[in-house]
A and B are shown apart, each in its own frame.
Chain A
Amino acid sequence: MVISNKPLSFILAAFVASLPIMGFANPESDSTHVQTETAHEEKVVSHNAHQEGEHVALDPKAKVDAFIDHHLQDSHDFVFFSDEKENKHYGFSLPVILIDGGLKVFSSSKLHHGEEVAEVDGSYYKLVHGKIYKTDAAGTINFDEHGHPSNEKPLDFSITKNVVSMLFVSVLLFFMFTGLAKSYKKGPIPTGFGRVLEPLVIFIRDEIAVPNIGEKKYRKYMGYLLTVFFFVWVLNLLGMTPLGINVTGNIAITVCLAAFTFIITQFSANKDYWGHIFWMPGVPVPMKIILAPIEVLGTLTKPFALLIRLYANITAGHVVIMSLIAMIFVGKNLAADLPISLGLTLFISVIEVLVAFLQAFIFTMLSSLFIGMAVQDHDHAHHHEDETAII
């Protein structure tokens, strides 16, 4: 593992040190829980208020909740910050692509951040909580008993903020690594930024791919593992910037990544792997019959754990950091809240930078582990142990 004992013990110590703070925070959080429930109701009320074209002032906690919620979600425009009083958003619009009785492409500026109804080719669309719903000319949105809109949702293929971020990261990765590849033409040792990247590439190979997949077969999967590692890591780090991008904390992204690992695992699996799933060797026949569905389920739970782990870690990190920052706005006493909030935010941010790397590492590690289990001919019990240890 890359983490030496030092940072681990540091985190542990810091965690223990922060326990009393959490302990004090607990009773408070109970009260906020109650309040958020009321705030939720208020939100529902506010939707209705929106419909009437009125602006109801929300209390700070509900506003923070809504803001965090909004941040965690994907969005159809790239807003860096907004001025609430003048109701202005600073950023840029992105193209909206809908499939709703034909392809419909228009700029997200038409939606006005959910404040207005967009009319495209005779159809009306409205943005509610980051999702586009089909509506009528007046913009009527019907809500069910859970507060979810019950209007029809068109198939949304918009170039959203997350898509733009991914494209940006892809281009960045492409230039970074083609740069590294080119620097080898000049000499055996890379120059400049390549010197930083090369050890990472070697690290992925020597610490992740080779031990898990094996010396003979690892080469084939290096492309996927390296791409995913750097893709996830850079996106995680991008989430730490104040740009407000939360890509890897989006369930669709992690589902896609896990699906890739799943597909690669299943397609590279050998006879031995399928044998272990459907007809476990070395156990009595009744056990084989019992084990088969469990093992089949196991192939699905592995990528599922993969997608939930990444999603939950990154989302939790974002929520914690934003909540800590929000303490300044929620608290009444600025002098007392500011140092605590900033201190804790700094502390969690440092951990999050570590988590950003760690989650990318673990994702790649487990992907290679699953691939390794599928392509290896023996050593199954040993790898199961490894897996449980990491989870």
Chain B
Amino acid sequence: MDKLINDFSFGLFFWQALILVILILLLVKFAWKPIMESITAREEGIKNALLSAENAKREMENLQADNQRILNEARAERDAMLKEAREMKEKMIADSKNEAQEVGQKMIDQAKAAIESEKNAAMAELKSQVSSLSLSIAEKLLKEELSNKESQTKLVEKMLGDVKLN
């Protein structure tokens, strides 16, 4: 201890303190600050780059999942559209068939009614024609029969004979 105290030189202590203070100040200003800042900035940069790479990867995965989903949706939509179209086609066919049947039926009915009425008219006409014809024939016959006396008498006789028979 005695030797240590004897060895202690105040001058050296003073110079050392001075040098150390100046060295610390100089190095902090010109070396440590820029060095630490650069290192920190670089490390931050690396960290950010890694983070953004991770994000990009995740986004890519999301994108792929989205694509898949959209594809599936599109496929489902297409299927649905096809199905709908098919259904519509079938319905249209069925509808038109029904309509055609209805219209046909109606036309047939109308035709039938027309035919019936035409027939009735024709029948009536025929009847009247037949009656008028038979009347005219009967008239003519009567005129001719009654043109001479003999035949008239003959007819009356004959008629009378018929009545007798009745």
Contact = CB atoms under 8 A, between A and B. Distances in A.
Contacts of A181: 30-31, 34-35, 38
Contacts of B19: 163, 166-167, 170
A44 B42 CA distance: 63
A252 B8 contact: yes
B23 A227 contact: yes
Query: Which 10 pairs of residues, A with B, have the shortest CB-CB distance?
Result: A177-B31, A184-B38, A223-B28, A181-B34, A252-B12, A256-B16, A157-B11, A156-B11, A252-B13, A163-B15
16 contacts: A156-B9, A163-B16, A170-B22, A174-B26, A180-B31, A181-B31, A188-B41, A198-B35, A205-B39, A222-B32, A227-B27, A227-B28, A251-B4, A252-B8, A252-B9, A252-B16
Contacts of B36: 201, 205, 219, 222
Interface of A: 73-74, 97, 131, 148, 155-160, 162-163, 166-167, 170, 173-174, 177-178, 180-181, 184, 188-189, 198, 201-202, 205, 219, 222-224, 226-228, 231, 250-253, 255-257, 259-260
A73 B17 CA distance: 19
Contacts of A162: 12, 15-16
Contacts of B26: 174
A252 B10 contact: yes
A250 B27 contact: no
B27 A188 contact: no
A178 B30 contact: yes
Contacts of A257: 16, 20
A131 B9 CA distance: 9
A97 B14 CA distance: 12
Given A177-B30, A181-B38, A260-B20, 19 more contacts: A97-B11, A157-B15, A158-B11, A160-B11, A163-B19, A173-B23, A177-B27, A177-B32, A180-B31, A181-B31, A201-B39, A223-B24, A227-B20, A250-B9, A251-B4, A251-B7, A252-B9, A253-B12, A260-B17
B147 interface: no
A97 B42 CA distance: 48
Contacts of B13: 252-253, 255-256
Given A74-B12, A155-B11, A252-B16, A170 B32 contact: no
A148 B23 contact: no
B24 A227 contact: yes
B166 interface: no
Nearest to A307: B4
Contacts of A184: 34-35, 38
B148 interface: no
Given A231-B20, A252-B10, A159 B15 contact: yes
Contacts of B9: 74, 131, 156, 160, 250, 252
Contacts of A189: 42
A189 B11 CA distance: 42
